[in-house]
Structure 1
Amino acid sequence: MTQILLTSFTTWKAHQRSNASDDLLIEIQKNSSSDLVFLRQLPVDFRLAPEQAIAHINKLQPDAIILCGMAESRQKLTVESRAIAGETIFHTKVDLEKLVKGLEFTEISQDAGQFVCEALYFATLKHLQEASSDCLCMFVHVPILTPANSQLVTQDFQAMIESVRGEVCQAKAKADILKTP
Protein backbone atom coordinates (compact mmCIF):
# COMPACT_ATOMS: atom_id res chain seq x y z
CA MET A 1 0.00 0.00 0.00
CA THR A 2 1.15 3.52 -0.80
CA GLN A 3 2.02 5.70 2.18
CA ILE A 4 2.28 9.47 2.11
CA LEU A 5 3.76 11.25 5.12
CA LEU A 6 2.41 14.73 5.87
CA THR A 7 4.16 16.98 8.40
CA SER A 8 3.35 20.28 10.08
CA PHE A 9 4.93 22.59 12.62
CA THR A 10 3.82 24.01 15.94
CA THR A 11 3.85 27.77 16.64
CA TRP A 12 7.01 29.76 17.33
CA LYS A 13 5.80 33.28 18.14
CA ALA A 14 3.77 34.40 21.16
CA HIS A 15 0.98 35.96 19.05
CA GLN A 16 0.32 32.73 17.13
CA ARG A 17 -2.66 30.71 18.32
CA SER A 18 -1.88 27.94 15.84
CA ASN A 19 0.32 27.15 12.87
CA ALA A 20 -1.46 27.29 9.49
CA SER A 21 0.36 24.14 8.35
CA ASP A 22 -1.10 22.25 11.29
CA ASP A 23 -4.54 23.83 10.79
CA LEU A 24 -4.48 22.53 7.21
CA LEU A 25 -3.48 19.02 8.26
CA ILE A 26 -6.30 18.98 10.81
CA GLU A 27 -8.72 19.66 7.93
CA ILE A 28 -7.12 17.02 5.72
CA GLN A 29 -7.14 14.47 8.55
CA LYS A 30 -10.93 14.79 8.91
CA ASN A 31 -11.47 13.04 5.57
CA SER A 32 -8.17 11.24 5.14
CA SER A 33 -7.61 7.87 3.58
CA SER A 34 -5.53 5.15 5.19
CA ASP A 35 -2.49 5.90 3.00
CA LEU A 36 -1.94 9.27 4.69
CA VAL A 37 0.27 9.32 7.78
CA PHE A 38 0.44 12.49 9.88
CA LEU A 39 3.42 13.80 11.83
CA ARG A 40 1.97 16.97 13.28
CA GLN A 41 3.43 19.83 15.27
CA LEU A 42 7.13 19.38 14.71
CA PRO A 43 9.10 21.79 16.91
CA VAL A 44 10.31 24.98 15.25
CA ASP A 45 13.91 24.05 15.93
CA PHE A 46 16.75 23.73 13.41
CA ARG A 47 18.02 20.47 14.94
CA LEU A 48 14.94 18.81 16.42
CA ALA A 49 12.56 19.18 13.46
CA PRO A 50 14.84 17.36 10.99
CA GLU A 51 15.84 14.74 13.59
CA GLN A 52 12.23 13.89 14.42
CA ALA A 53 11.07 13.89 10.80
CA ILE A 54 13.96 11.74 9.55
CA ALA A 55 13.49 9.26 12.42
CA HIS A 56 9.84 8.96 11.39
CA ILE A 57 10.80 8.58 7.72
CA ASN A 58 13.28 5.82 8.55
CA LYS A 59 10.65 3.98 10.58
CA LEU A 60 7.77 4.42 8.12
CA GLN A 61 9.62 4.26 4.76
CA PRO A 62 6.90 6.30 2.99
CA ASP A 63 6.49 6.49 -0.77
CA ALA A 64 6.10 10.26 -0.63
CA ILE A 65 6.55 13.07 1.86
CA ILE A 66 4.74 16.40 1.89
CA LEU A 67 6.40 18.70 4.40
CA CYS A 68 4.31 21.72 5.39
CA GLY A 69 5.11 24.99 7.10
CA MET A 70 3.45 28.33 7.65
CA ALA A 71 4.35 31.45 5.69
CA GLU A 72 2.52 34.34 7.35
CA SER A 73 3.44 36.82 4.62
CA ARG A 74 2.29 34.71 1.66
CA GLN A 75 -1.20 34.91 0.22
CA LYS A 76 -1.33 31.52 -1.55
CA LEU A 77 -0.02 28.00 -1.09
CA THR A 78 3.54 27.85 -2.39
CA VAL A 79 5.37 24.69 -3.35
CA GLU A 80 9.10 24.97 -2.89
CA SER A 81 11.26 23.90 -5.83
CA ARG A 82 14.47 23.61 -3.83
CA ALA A 83 16.22 23.83 -0.48
CA ILE A 84 19.55 25.59 -0.02
CA ALA A 85 22.23 25.41 2.67
CA GLY A 86 25.41 27.31 1.89
CA GLU A 87 26.50 26.36 -1.63
CA THR A 88 24.50 23.11 -1.70
CA ILE A 89 21.11 22.96 -3.39
CA PHE A 90 18.68 20.05 -3.44
CA HIS A 91 15.69 20.05 -5.81
CA THR A 92 12.45 18.16 -5.42
CA LYS A 93 11.85 15.26 -7.83
CA VAL A 94 8.16 16.18 -7.98
CA ASP A 95 7.14 17.76 -11.30
CA LEU A 96 5.91 21.04 -9.82
CA GLU A 97 4.78 22.54 -13.14
CA LYS A 98 2.48 19.56 -13.64
CA LEU A 99 1.46 19.65 -9.97
CA VAL A 100 0.27 23.27 -9.96
CA LYS A 101 -1.39 23.19 -13.38
CA GLY A 102 -5.05 23.99 -12.85
CA LEU A 103 -4.65 24.90 -9.17
CA GLU A 104 -6.18 28.30 -8.46
CA PHE A 105 -4.50 29.07 -5.17
CA THR A 106 -0.99 27.62 -5.57
CA GLU A 107 2.30 28.95 -6.92
CA ILE A 108 5.84 27.63 -7.28
CA SER A 109 8.47 29.29 -5.10
CA GLN A 110 12.26 29.34 -5.40
CA ASP A 111 12.73 30.54 -1.80
CA ALA A 112 11.97 28.10 1.02
CA GLY A 113 12.46 30.86 3.57
CA GLN A 114 15.94 30.39 5.07
CA PHE A 115 14.42 29.32 8.39
CA VAL A 116 13.47 26.00 10.00
CA CYS A 117 11.21 25.13 7.05
CA GLU A 118 14.14 25.24 4.66
CA ALA A 119 16.39 23.42 7.14
CA LEU A 120 13.85 20.59 7.40
CA TYR A 121 13.38 20.44 3.62
CA PHE A 122 17.14 20.45 2.99
CA ALA A 123 17.84 17.76 5.60
CA THR A 124 15.04 15.56 4.28
CA LEU A 125 16.06 15.86 0.63
CA LYS A 126 19.70 15.22 1.60
CA HIS A 127 18.72 12.17 3.65
CA LEU A 128 16.67 10.73 0.78
CA GLN A 129 19.49 11.30 -1.71
CA GLU A 130 22.09 9.72 0.58
CA ALA A 131 19.78 6.72 1.06
CA SER A 132 19.28 6.46 -2.74
CA SER A 133 15.57 6.59 -2.04
CA ASP A 134 12.88 6.83 -4.71
CA CYS A 135 10.63 8.57 -2.19
CA LEU A 136 9.10 11.77 -3.54
CA CYS A 137 9.46 14.79 -1.27
CA MET A 138 8.12 18.31 -1.51
CA PHE A 139 7.58 21.28 0.77
CA VAL A 140 4.41 23.38 0.85
CA HIS A 141 4.19 26.76 2.55
CA VAL A 142 0.70 27.49 3.85
CA PRO A 143 -0.65 31.03 4.23
CA ILE A 144 -2.64 32.04 7.30
CA LEU A 145 -6.03 30.33 6.89
CA THR A 146 -9.02 32.65 6.87
CA PRO A 147 -12.72 32.14 6.15
CA ALA A 148 -12.04 33.66 2.71
CA ASN A 149 -9.20 31.31 1.67
CA SER A 150 -9.63 28.15 3.73
CA GLN A 151 -11.71 26.23 1.21
CA LEU A 152 -9.42 27.14 -1.71
CA VAL A 153 -6.30 26.21 0.24
CA THR A 154 -7.79 22.88 1.32
CA GLN A 155 -9.01 22.05 -2.21
CA ASP A 156 -5.63 22.78 -3.78
CA PHE A 157 -3.80 20.82 -1.10
CA GLN A 158 -6.12 17.83 -1.61
CA ALA A 159 -5.40 18.04 -5.34
CA MET A 160 -1.65 18.04 -4.58
CA ILE A 161 -2.04 14.89 -2.50
CA GLU A 162 -3.93 13.22 -5.35
CA SER A 163 -1.26 14.27 -7.85
CA VAL A 164 1.56 12.92 -5.67
CA ARG A 165 -0.43 9.72 -5.08
CA GLY A 166 -0.78 9.37 -8.86
CA GLU A 167 2.96 9.88 -9.40
CA VAL A 168 3.74 7.20 -6.81
CA CYS A 169 1.29 4.73 -8.39
CA GLN A 170 2.75 5.35 -11.86
CA ALA A 171 6.29 4.82 -10.58
CA LYS A 172 5.26 1.58 -8.84
CA ALA A 173 3.50 0.31 -11.98
CA LYS A 174 6.58 1.10 -14.07
CA ALA A 175 8.81 -0.71 -11.56
CA ASP A 176 6.49 -3.74 -11.63
CA ILE A 177 6.64 -3.85 -15.43
CA LEU A 178 10.43 -3.75 -15.33
CA LYS A 179 10.48 -6.65 -12.84
CA THR A 180 8.23 -8.84 -15.00
CA PRO A 181 10.28 -11.46 -16.89
Structure 2
Amino acid sequence: MSLSKTELLELQFSLRQAVISCSERCQYQSAKWAAELLDALPDDDLGLEETSVTEVFNTQTDPVEARLEQNELPKYLMAKSFLDCHEMRRCAAVFLSTDSSEHTISLQNNVLSIPHGKASRSVFSKTSQKGLFLASHALLLAGEKQKTEDLGPVLGPSDTGAVINKQLAPLKRMLESWFG
Protein backbone atom coordinates (compact mmCIF):
# COMPACT_ATOMS: atom_id res chain seq x y z
CA MET A 1 0.00 0.00 0.00
CA SER A 2 1.47 3.29 -1.08
CA LEU A 3 0.54 6.48 0.72
CA SER A 4 0.82 9.98 -0.63
CA LYS A 5 3.01 12.46 1.22
CA THR A 6 -0.08 14.10 2.76
CA GLU A 7 -1.51 10.77 3.88
CA LEU A 8 1.83 9.77 5.36
CA LEU A 9 2.03 13.05 7.30
CA GLU A 10 -1.51 12.53 8.60
CA LEU A 11 -0.68 8.97 9.66
CA GLN A 12 2.49 10.11 11.42
CA PHE A 13 0.61 12.88 13.21
CA SER A 14 -2.13 10.44 14.29
CA LEU A 15 0.39 7.89 15.54
CA ARG A 16 2.31 10.57 17.47
CA GLN A 17 -0.94 11.70 19.06
CA ALA A 18 -1.78 8.07 19.89
CA VAL A 19 1.60 7.48 21.55
CA ILE A 20 1.35 10.65 23.63
CA SER A 21 -2.31 10.12 24.57
CA CYS A 22 -1.84 6.45 25.46
CA SER A 23 1.26 7.22 27.50
CA GLU A 24 -0.52 10.02 29.40
CA ARG A 25 -3.29 7.55 30.25
CA CYS A 26 -0.82 4.86 31.38
CA GLN A 27 -1.77 2.64 28.44
CA TYR A 28 1.85 1.67 28.01
CA GLN A 29 1.42 -1.38 25.78
CA SER A 30 -0.81 0.57 23.40
CA ALA A 31 1.68 3.45 23.38
CA LYS A 32 4.48 1.00 22.63
CA TRP A 33 2.59 -0.54 19.69
CA ALA A 34 1.75 2.87 18.24
CA ALA A 35 5.37 3.98 18.69
CA GLU A 36 6.64 0.86 16.92
CA LEU A 37 4.27 1.56 14.03
CA LEU A 38 5.41 5.19 13.92
CA ASP A 39 9.06 4.17 13.89
CA ALA A 40 8.40 1.71 11.04
CA LEU A 41 7.12 4.47 8.75
CA PRO A 42 9.61 5.87 6.26
CA ASP A 43 11.15 9.18 7.23
CA ASP A 44 12.00 10.51 3.79
CA ASP A 45 12.47 14.17 4.81
CA LEU A 46 8.77 14.85 5.12
CA GLY A 47 9.30 18.45 6.25
CA LEU A 48 6.82 18.72 9.10
CA GLU A 49 4.66 21.82 9.29
CA GLU A 50 5.44 24.56 11.79
CA THR A 51 2.51 23.64 14.03
CA SER A 52 3.35 19.96 14.36
CA VAL A 53 2.97 18.09 17.64
CA THR A 54 6.78 17.99 17.77
CA GLU A 55 6.97 21.72 18.35
CA VAL A 56 4.04 21.81 20.76
CA PHE A 57 5.91 19.53 23.18
CA ASN A 58 9.38 20.88 22.39
CA THR A 59 10.91 22.94 25.18
CA GLN A 60 14.39 22.98 23.64
CA THR A 61 15.86 26.43 22.97
CA ASP A 62 19.05 25.29 21.20
CA PRO A 63 18.14 25.03 17.48
CA VAL A 64 20.59 22.19 16.78
CA GLU A 65 19.32 20.16 19.72
CA ALA A 66 15.71 20.96 18.80
CA ARG A 67 16.33 19.67 15.27
CA LEU A 68 17.91 16.48 16.63
CA GLU A 69 14.91 15.94 18.92
CA GLN A 70 12.49 16.56 16.07
CA ASN A 71 14.31 14.14 13.77
CA GLU A 72 14.43 11.36 16.34
CA LEU A 73 10.89 11.78 17.71
CA PRO A 74 9.62 8.39 16.45
CA LYS A 75 12.63 6.64 18.00
CA TYR A 76 12.25 8.63 21.23
CA LEU A 77 8.56 7.77 21.52
CA MET A 78 9.32 4.09 20.95
CA ALA A 79 12.15 4.13 23.51
CA LYS A 80 9.93 5.93 26.04
CA SER A 81 7.20 3.34 25.49
CA PHE A 82 9.71 0.54 26.12
CA LEU A 83 10.82 2.29 29.32
CA ASP A 84 7.20 2.64 30.46
CA CYS A 85 6.74 -1.11 29.86
CA HIS A 86 9.89 -1.84 31.92
CA GLU A 87 11.75 -3.13 28.86
CA MET A 88 14.97 -1.35 29.79
CA ARG A 89 17.37 -3.08 27.41
CA ARG A 90 15.03 -2.58 24.44
CA CYS A 91 14.74 1.10 25.41
CA ALA A 92 18.51 1.53 25.49
CA ALA A 93 18.92 -0.39 22.23
CA VAL A 94 16.85 2.21 20.39
CA PHE A 95 19.68 4.74 20.71
CA LEU A 96 22.63 2.52 21.68
CA SER A 97 22.48 -0.08 18.99
CA THR A 98 24.80 -2.00 16.71
CA ASP A 99 23.17 -0.65 13.56
CA SER A 100 24.35 2.63 12.14
CA SER A 101 21.08 4.39 11.46
CA GLU A 102 21.15 8.15 11.43
CA HIS A 103 19.70 8.70 14.92
CA THR A 104 21.45 5.83 16.71
CA ILE A 105 24.74 5.77 18.56
CA SER A 106 26.67 2.94 16.95
CA LEU A 107 28.14 0.44 19.34
CA GLN A 108 30.39 -0.71 16.52
CA ASN A 109 32.51 2.20 17.73
CA ASN A 110 32.48 0.45 21.14
CA VAL A 111 31.01 3.53 22.78
CA LEU A 112 30.53 1.74 26.08
CA SER A 113 34.14 0.49 26.16
CA ILE A 114 35.98 3.67 25.15
CA PRO A 115 38.95 4.34 27.46
CA HIS A 116 38.73 7.48 29.56
CA GLY A 117 39.12 10.66 27.50
CA LYS A 118 39.61 8.90 24.16
CA ALA A 119 36.29 9.63 22.41
CA SER A 120 35.06 12.76 20.81
CA ARG A 121 31.57 14.13 21.11
CA SER A 122 31.13 13.37 17.39
CA VAL A 123 30.28 9.76 18.29
CA PHE A 124 27.04 11.17 19.70
CA SER A 125 26.52 13.92 17.12
CA LYS A 126 23.33 12.39 15.68
CA THR A 127 21.66 11.78 19.06
CA SER A 128 19.94 14.41 21.17
CA GLN A 129 20.70 14.90 24.84
CA LYS A 130 17.17 13.72 25.55
CA GLY A 131 17.76 10.46 23.67
CA LEU A 132 21.14 9.95 25.30
CA PHE A 133 19.63 10.51 28.74
CA LEU A 134 16.80 8.05 28.11
CA ALA A 135 19.21 5.36 26.87
CA SER A 136 21.63 5.96 29.77
CA HIS A 137 18.83 5.90 32.30
CA ALA A 138 17.46 2.66 30.84
CA LEU A 139 20.90 1.02 30.99
CA LEU A 140 21.31 2.12 34.59
CA LEU A 141 17.91 0.67 35.51
CA ALA A 142 18.66 -2.56 33.62
CA GLY A 143 21.91 -2.86 35.56
CA GLU A 144 20.10 -2.30 38.85
CA LYS A 145 17.56 -4.98 37.97
CA GLN A 146 20.36 -7.41 37.06
CA LYS A 147 22.16 -6.56 40.29
CA THR A 148 19.03 -7.35 42.29
CA GLU A 149 18.59 -10.64 40.45
CA ASP A 150 22.25 -11.56 41.00
CA LEU A 151 22.01 -10.70 44.69
CA GLY A 152 19.59 -13.55 45.35
CA PRO A 153 17.61 -13.87 48.54
CA VAL A 154 18.33 -11.35 51.25
CA LEU A 155 20.16 -12.91 54.21
CA GLY A 156 20.79 -16.01 52.12
CA PRO A 157 24.07 -17.92 51.92
CA SER A 158 25.32 -15.81 49.01
CA ASP A 159 24.32 -12.48 50.57
CA THR A 160 27.72 -10.85 50.76
CA GLY A 161 26.62 -7.44 49.50
CA ALA A 162 29.43 -7.55 46.93
CA VAL A 163 27.16 -7.45 43.88
CA ILE A 164 27.48 -4.23 41.89
CA ASN A 165 25.68 -2.70 38.94
CA LYS A 166 27.83 -3.80 35.99
CA GLN A 167 26.52 -0.94 33.84
CA LEU A 168 28.06 1.80 35.99
CA ALA A 169 31.60 1.72 34.59
CA PRO A 170 30.55 1.59 30.90
CA LEU A 171 27.99 4.36 31.51
CA LYS A 172 30.63 6.46 33.24
CA ARG A 173 32.99 6.09 30.27
CA MET A 174 30.20 6.90 27.82
CA LEU A 175 29.19 10.04 29.72
CA GLU A 176 32.80 11.13 30.15
CA SER A 177 33.25 10.89 26.40
CA TRP A 178 30.09 12.97 25.94
CA PHE A 179 31.08 15.69 28.41
CA GLY A 180 34.85 15.33 28.01
**Given the two structures, how large is their TM-score scaled by the length of structure 1?**
0.26
More helix by share: 2
The answer to which structure, 1 or 2, has the higher relative contact order (CA under 8 A, 6+ apart) is 1
More strand by share: 1
Larger radius of gyration: 2
**Given the two structures, how large is their TM-score scaled by the length of structure 2?**
0.26
